[in-house]
Amino acid sequence: MDKGKKPGKSTAVSKSNKIYMDLKEILQEHALRYLPAKSLCRFKVVCRDWKLQISTPFFEHSQSFAFRSMSGLFCQSPNGSISFVSLDPMAYGIPDPNLTFLPEPADLLASSHGLLCCRGCNDKKAYYICNPVNQNWKKLPLPEADHGQHPALALVFEPSLLNFVADFKLICAFPSTDFDDAYEFEIYSSAEDSWKISPEICFGENGRILKAGGFHVNGVVYWVSNNYALIGFDLKKNRVKVIPCFELYGSVTLGIMNGKLCASHKKGCQVKVCVLSNEFANTMHMEAANRTWETKTVLLSHAGTGRAVHESEGTILAVGSDVIVFPDGRQIFAHDLRTKVTTDLSTEVEFSSKNVYFPYVNSLVCL
């Protein structure tokens, strides 16, 4: 007989409270981990439950897996000073952008999903891996080979939900002492805590590496060479591969777009982005429809700022699936590929062609 009765006020309040509690649990368990580290540090003051949740090692691990967005750029000037250019200062940030928590002054060499690779300035030139958010750092054992003054390094860290330990690799392409105009490769594995020199050699006809920073995508580390090609080192097969890239010229920047390697170059108001679609296209017959690179053009603008992009060639600082970071004069801008909105990032750091820049993800990952 009670089926047809309308719920009273107390029942409605009870249901409302139940809905509120469910939403709170959903946010805590399923939404927080998709936020950047700086936002999470602020959200610790929301309530005691959120503070305890965000402070657990498992949450730190799951956040490093869930949050992958480019958050800004680390910048180092020729005099050694280090700074951070945030894409959104309210959301992305770090407590010590100068990395003074390291045991010695160091040079930035690579970054990957929240981790930075630095090289000490002292005589031993030791390598350090660190997370500037929680100031965790690890000093690596000295490599077997001489990597030279400007090592061509790539840091490889791919967060895995099933692997609670932050395993990473550091790959260095260094000039061979046995063959002229050739490169050898030495790999550090955190799982083994040791270096190993690969038997693979990249000979001179493949070109000279132009940029010291390598870029990792889908198990392969790529460097830009001087003969309009990419030198790749396959970590699984322990093999060198060379991919032609005649679509680009001048200063080329590597990045990742929709899970694939891309190479980009700026000319005036346009950015030419080549996405690697089929690296085996050059082995197919002449009439095959498949191409090695898919090319797209992005038109840059300063919509709403009242100024135009300089009509000159230039370097792209970073490329991601959602954003392109580029300099224009002394200023640094971020162009959102979805909204087409361009934001000025140079409120604290001005652009200089002598500086080096590394894209960074605001992660809680612990070493």
pLDDT, tens digit (0-9, with 9 covering 90-100), for 228-239: 788 899 999 999
For position 134, what pLDDT does the model report? 93
**Cα–Cα distance measured from residue 332 to residue 347, given in angstroms and rounded to the nearest whole number:** 9
Beta bridge partners of 341: none
For position 1, what pLDDT does the model report? 44
Residues of the chain with CATH 2.120.10.80: 59-360
Q: What are the distances in angstroms from CA 308 to CA 300, 303, 305, 329? A: 9, 8, 8, 11
Span of 58-67, 201-210, 323-332 with lowest mean pLDDT: 201-210
Question: Is the per-residue pLDDT at 25 higher than 80?
Answer: no
**What residue type is 171 in one-letter code?**
I
Strongest mean pLDDT among 188-202, 295-309, 330-344: 188-202
For position 3, what pLDDT does the model report? 52
Instruction: Encode pLDDT of 141-188 as tens digits.
Output: 999 999 988 889 999 999 988 888 889 999 999 988 888 888 999 999
DSSP summary character for residue 209: B
For position 207, what pLDDT does the model report? 67
For position 249, what pLDDT does the model report? 66
**pLDDT band for position 247 (cuts 50, 70, 90):** low
For position 292, what pLDDT does the model report? 80
Q: What's the rounded mean pLDDT across residues 281-310?
A: 62
For position 283, what pLDDT does the model report? 46
245: which residues sit within 8 A by CB, 6+ positions away?
228, 229, 230, 252, 263, 274, 293
- Identify which has the larger pLDDT, 293 or 131: 131
For position 293, what pLDDT does the model report? 85
**pLDDT band for position 102 (cuts 50, 70, 90):** very high
For position 99, what pLDDT does the model report? 94
For position 280, what pLDDT does the model report? 58
Question: Is the per-residue pLDDT at 195 higher than 70?
Answer: yes
Q: What's the rounded mean pLDDT across residues 37-63?
A: 89
Question: Is the per-residue pLDDT at 275 higher than 80?
Answer: yes
Q: What's the rounded mean pLDDT across residues 222-229?
A: 83
For position 320, what pLDDT does the model report? 87
What is the average pLDDT score of the chain?
84
**pLDDT band for position 45 (cuts 50, 70, 90):** confident
Question: Is the per-residue pLDDT at 4 higher than 70?
Answer: no
Q: Which residue has the tokens 């840059």?
A: 300
**Short-list 166, 175, 209, 170, CA closest to 188:** 170
The CATH H-level (homologous superfamily) assignment of domain 59-360 is Kelch-type beta propeller (2.120.10.80)
Q: What percentage of residues in the chain have a pLDDT greater than 90?
A: 43
Question: Is the per-residue pLDDT at 14 higher than 60?
Answer: no
For position 277, what pLDDT does the model report? 83
For position 329, what pLDDT does the model report? 82
- Identify which has the larger pLDDT, 269 or 65: 65
CA 165: distance to chain centroid? 19
Q: What percentage of residues in the chain have a pLDDT greater than 70?
A: 83
Give the DSSP H/E element, type plus range, for residue 306.
Answer: none
Contact 186, 197 (CB under 8 A): yes
Side-chain half-sphere CA neighbours of 333 within 13 A: 25
For position 65, what pLDDT does the model report? 92
Give the DSSP H/E element, type plus range, for residue 11.
Answer: helix 9-26
pTM of the complete model: 0.85
